[in-house]
Amino acid sequence: MKKLLFTLVIAGLGIIVNAQPPAGDAKAGEWYGEKVSTEGAVDINDVVKKLNGGSEFPEVKIKAKITEVCPKKGCWLKLELENGETAMVKMKDYGFFLPLAAKGKTVVIDGAVNLKTTSVAELKHYAEDAKKTKEEIDAIKEPKKEVKVMAKGIVVVD
């Protein structure tokens, strides 16, 4: 019985430790996921204009400013768009996370960019992760068409 209890305590601590965003300052030159070069990066707003025109970007390097990092694990980001909206970034295969210090930093992301509709359930999940109020979460009633990025790698530019 003691061994079982000890095993459960150790497993619980492991889960708690792993449920935190990674530590770090997200300094210029630091990368997460696959190593990324900044060469050839395109401003995200240029990509969004082409997406709205029907183009697809299964492989592109974008440059953008991070407005939000998932406070729960660092497992998603939001990027600033010039129209006042944001683009949602998820990490490929849930393979890496960013520290909270990445908020406000400019990054280059290597990955795929497309327009997708996010379900109400998923929007509510992100709102819960972001520690929004119950009223803000309950106010989400419609799916949202948004710019989505699936990142293979991210490098901090400044």
Per residue in 125-150, pLDDT tens? Answer: 999 999 999 999 999 999 999 999 99
The more confident residue out of 104 and 10 is 104
Residue 121, pLDDT > 60, answer yes
Instruction: Tell me if 2 is assigned to some domain.
Output: no
Instruction: Tell me if 83 is assigned to some domain.
Output: yes
pLDDT at 22: 85
Q: What mean pLDDT value characterizes the chain? A: 90
Look up residue 93 and give its DSSP letter. Answer: G
Instruction: Tell me if 94 is assigned to some domain.
Output: yes
pLDDT at 13: 46
Residue 53, pLDDT > 80, answer yes
What number is the average pLDDT over the span 86-103?
Answer: 96
Count of structural domains, the chain: 1
Across the chain, the runs of DSSP E, i.e. the strands, are: 31-33, 42-43, 57-69, 76-80, 86-91, 106-118, 144-156
Cα(43)–Cα(46) distance, integer angstroms:
6
pLDDT-derived band at 17 (thresholds 50, 70, 90) equals very low
DSSP H helical segments within the chain, as ranges?
2-18, 44-52, 120-129, 134-138
CATH number at residue 133: 2.40.50
Query: With a threshold of 0.75, does the pTM exceed it?
Result: yes
The pLDDT > 70 percentage for the chain reads 88
Residue 73, pLDDT > 50, answer yes
Instruction: Tell me if 119 is assigned to some domain.
Output: yes
Cα(97)–Cα(154) distance, integer angstroms:
10
| Domain span including residue 27 | 23-156
